[in-house]
């Protein structure tokens, strides 16, 4: 079961970069169709809930398909939207991921209950319904999805020049020659890693405070719901001002005390408030960061750049979760508090804040041009 639970971030790491190359070479529509086909096809294997090997194979196949879909968001945005709308467009794309999580979390328990007391049979019906939804999404995208708009969006001159960059390992190396891109890698490693660590362990974190698992789940839902709102509000402001750096500074500046408060506070109501603030500012930073990355690297390599960023974010999630467990074990024993683990996350965000201060925002988005590989 542990292997199944960790399959998505583990598979994301080796598949993300090849997916990015494919997205930049063949376009987001081809990549999304491939990812959706893998997701839908292997989803039906999970109907064999009593056969672990088939379920594991299904989870691996779905996990392989995931990067082709998720990493395509910024490529779609760069293809369809002008620079002045890129953060909001990325925000709406990111928002769809969080809404999907919320819908699945909300619908699964009542669906299991509606299909009776037989756990295996009920689980099969739920998996079958979700597989059909995935199939419907694949068909709709195949019929309605378009690779390019009738009229190309307005792009900056440097982004147009950047479209000549080679999409290969040399191009990947050239990404890391960009100072801003290296700094964004550090920020997403800390930011996404800490968010994943919190959501994976939220019940364990809150249990020593006397907060039951149901309330802990509701707190997690508030974090995500606040992030959904934030993904619309803050990126739209960022686009209006055509500034990215201040919003990354704001996210890190709010996250540092918010993580500390979640670890220190014992009142469920207070944790709800801290979690809401954390979700609103931290989750909304993702689309701003992706828009900043596109403006730094240019449109040609945005798929590869996004793949590297999300790879690091998923790797950060695995590493931070393990580090939090290790800190809790070293400081509090098996039933101990996660207080010092949360202090660790707060300190990590102070590092992210210092890194964000070093970002150099161009006078006009997209002024940075990738060097020739």
pLDDT digits (tens, 9 = 90+) for 132-163: 999 999 999 999 888 788 776 765 444 444 44
pLDDT digits (tens, 9 = 90+) for 282-331: 999 999 998 898 888 876 677 888 888 888 888 888 889 889 988 887 77
pLDDT digits (tens, 9 = 90+) for 100-130: 877 877 787 788 778 776 677 777 888 889 8
What is the CB neighbour count within 10 angstroms for residue 149?
10
Q: Quote the distance between the C-alpha of residue 299 and its chain's center.
A: 20
Closest CA to 216 of 268, 149, 163: 268
Work out the burial of residue 266: count CB atoms within 10 Å of its CB; fewer than 13 is exposed, 13-18 middle, 19 or more buried.
Answer: exposed
pLDDT digits (tens, 9 = 90+) for 14-69: 888 888 888 888 888 999 999 999 999 998 888 876 777 888 888 889 989 988 98
Residues 6+ apart with CB under 8 A from 208: 335, 336, 337, 338
Domain borders along the chain are 1-71+117-145, 86-114+174-359
Closest CA to 201 of 215, 222, 216: 216
Give one word for 242, left, alpha or beta, with left for phi > 0 and alpha for psi -120 to 50: left
pLDDT at residue 49, as a whole number: 65
Please say whether the beta carbons of 311 and 14 come within 8 A: no
Question: Does the structure show a pLDDT above 80 at 164?
Answer: no
DSSP state of 45: G
Q: What is the mean pLDDT of the chain?
A: 83
What top-level class would CATH report for the domain 86-114+174-359?
A: mainly alpha
């Amino acid at each position: 079961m542990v292997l199944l639970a960790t399959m998505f971030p583990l598979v994301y790491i080796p598949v993300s970069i090849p997916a990015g190359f494919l997205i930049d070479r063949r376009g987001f529509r081809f990549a999304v169709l491939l990812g959706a086909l893998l997701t839908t096809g292997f989803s039906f294997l999970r109907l064999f809930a009593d056969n672990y090997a088939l379920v594991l194979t299904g989870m691996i196949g779905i996990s392989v398909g995931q990067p082709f879909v998720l990493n395509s968001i910024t490529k779609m945005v760069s293809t369809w939207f002008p620079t002045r709308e890129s953060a909001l467009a990325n925000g709406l794309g990111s928002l769809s991921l969080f809404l999907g999580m919320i819908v699945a979390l909300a619908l699964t328990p009542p669906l299991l209950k509606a299909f009776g007391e037989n756990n295996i049979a009920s689980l099969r019906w739920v998996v079958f319904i979700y597989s059909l939804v995935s199939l419907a999404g694949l068909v709709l995208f195949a019929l309605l999805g378009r690779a390019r708009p009738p009229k190309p969006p307005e792009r900056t001159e440097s982004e147009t020049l950047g479209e000549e960059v080679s999409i290969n390992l040399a191009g990947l190396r050239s990404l890391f020659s960009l100072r801003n891109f290296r700094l964004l890698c550090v920020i997403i490693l800390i930011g996404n890693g800490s968010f994943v660590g919190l959501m994976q362990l939220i019940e364990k974190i809150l249990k020593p405070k006397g907060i039951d698992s149901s309330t802990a789940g509701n707190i997690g839902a508030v974090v995500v719901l606040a992030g959904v709102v934030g993904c619309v509000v803050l990126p739209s402001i960022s686009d209006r001002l055509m500034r990215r750096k201040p919003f990354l500074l704001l996210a890190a500046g709010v996250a540092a005390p918010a993580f500390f408060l979640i670890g220190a506070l014992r009142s469920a109501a207070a944790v709800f408030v801290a979690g809401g603030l954390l979700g609103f500012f931290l989750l909304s930073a993702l689309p701003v960061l992706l828009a900043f990355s596109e403006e730094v690297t240019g449109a040609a390599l945005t798929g590869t750049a996004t793949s590297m960023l999300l790879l690091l974010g998923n790797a950060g999630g695995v590493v931070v979760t393990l580090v939090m467990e290790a800190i809790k074990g070293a400081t509090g024993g098996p039933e101990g508090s996660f207080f010092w683990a949360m202090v660790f996350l707060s300190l990590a965000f102070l590092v992210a804040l210092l890194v964000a201060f070093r970002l150099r925002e161009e006078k006009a988005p997209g002024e940075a041009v990738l060097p020739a590989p």
